[in-house]
Structures are given as structure tokens and as C-alpha cells.
Amino acid sequence: MAADDRPQIYLITPPDFGLDAFPDLLARVLDTTGIACIRLALAGSDGDRIGRAADALRLVAHDRDVALVIESHLQLVERHGLDGVHLNDGARSVRDARKLLGADAIVGAFCGTSRHDGINAGEAGADYVAFGPVGATGLGTGARAERDLFAWWSEMIEVPVVAEGGLTPDLVADLAPVSDFLGIGAEIWSADDPAAALKALLAPLG
């Protein structure tokens, strides 16, 4: 696959991890595969814990010139020197996030399988729109973001698009030509060697 056709990799952290080991694990992944952006997707409402995770991962990411965004927690972006926020409610919070964080911050929006929500998010100022899941995850309603959605988006809309959720090598091959980013997280973190798992998942890209 030509370099200009190859989607960039958007890495999503696990919803739970230990700060004693995960930053080193993340560093190994970043040192073996080119990553464009990391999403800190730590679950829960413990602001102190999430803040400490943000600080630890920021050091790892920024040492390698990789952007780090945080899922949902707008107030932590500036406080912890992060690059932006990933919103899970479609277009609803995009304008508020942009107003709070300014023009230079990354503001992304997850829009499920809804083209309409994606368009609204883009018009509201999102830097990227994510659709998914693209494969089987066993979660949610079972509805998937189909290739047709990405193909239409990449042809008609200038806002970059992320394909995420349940990626397999076959889906990587199928979606690469119509996606700007592949969002990868749960697919690799349960493996004994996540860096190797990521390389195997991305093998179809050549």
C-alpha cells in the first residue's frame, strides 16, 4: 500500500491499567510502530487517578512527538498539558469543547454509526470524527459502522475519519483505503506482547 494511502494509527488505552507497568508498555508499542495519536480512555471518576495517568502518559507520548487526547474530561486537558479531548456524545459537546480549549486543541467526536451525527460534529468544529464499531465487539446494540459509511465520508467530507472497534486484519485491509485513522485498543492490550499484536493486526498495510 502506498504511503499516502495508508491510514495513520490512533491508539486507545485500556479502560483500566496500572501506572507501575503501563507507561513502559506503551513506550514499547510507540517505539515499534508509528502512532499518530493516543487516547487516554481510563474509566471511572477518580480525578486524581486519571490525572496521574495523564501525566505519566503525556511524558511517554510527548517524548516521541505523539499527541495525547483524553476521553471526555475537558477540565483535565489544560491542567495536565494534553493535546485535546475525545468526546463520546457525537456533536453535542463539540462547540463547548472548542470554546473552552481554543482553536489549537484537538477535539474529536465519536458518532457511532450515524452519518448525521458525524456531519453535525464536523460542522461544529470537530478535528476528526470516529465511527464504530466496525467489527464484532460483543458490546452495545451490535450495530456496526459499515464500509459504505467510510467510503461515502472519505469521498464527500474533508474532516478526517477514524475507524474503530473490533478491527481484524481483514477489516484493516478493507477499511484502510477509506479511513484516515484506524483506532486500535482492545484488539492488542490483552495479548502477551501488545507491540507484536499491533504489528500482526497491521500486516495487511505492508
DSSP 3-state of 3:
helix
Question: DSSP string covering 9-73, please?
Answer: EEEE--SS--TTTHHHHHHHHHHHS--SEEEE---SS-HHHHHHHHHHHHHHHHHTT-EEEEES-
pLDDT per residue as tens digits for the range 129-184:
999 999 988 767 779 999 999 999 999 999 999 999 999 999 999 999 999 999 99
Give Cα separations from 183 to 35, 59, 99, 130 (angstroms).
10, 21, 26, 8
pLDDT per residue as tens digits for the range 30-67:
999 999 999 999 999 899 999 999 999 999 999 999 99
Domains in the chain: ranges and CATH: 3-205 (3.20.20.70)
